[in-house]
Amino acid sequence: MSEIRVQQTNEKIGYPEGKIFWEPLKGWTSQLMKNLYKQGYRACKSGSAHILKDKQGTEVCKGYSWEGLLLEAALIMR
């Protein structure tokens, strides 16, 4: 994902916690995703889809790339 694309994506996210950023040695992430992981949420991959699941394993949202999942999670968790 290019910096320009990240900026375009972040413009769709209206709060700082949901903004996507690069974390060295880990890749693209957001503070929101880090916080969700601390609360027991998990992301998995099924075919070409990346899926975010809650503690009970219920699908919360889906993206067709990791960055797409970060965006979808940010949009529904605001």
Identify the pLDDT of residue 30.
Answer: 97
Domains of the chain: total: 1
State which residues form the domain around 7.
3-76
Residue 76 has pLDDT above 90, yes or no: yes
Q: pTM for the full model?
A: 0.91
Q: Which residues contact 31 (CB under 8 A, 6 or more apart)?
A: 16, 17, 18, 19
**2-34: pLDDT as tens digits:** 889 999 999 999 999 999 999 999 999 999 999
* Averaged pLDDT score across all residues of the chain: 95
Q: Burial letters for 26-48: b for 16+ Cβ neighbours within 10 Å, e otherwise? A: eebbbebbeebeeeebebeeeee
Task: Please state, in angstroms and rounded to a whole number, the distance separating the CA atoms of residues 7 and 12.
Answer: 9
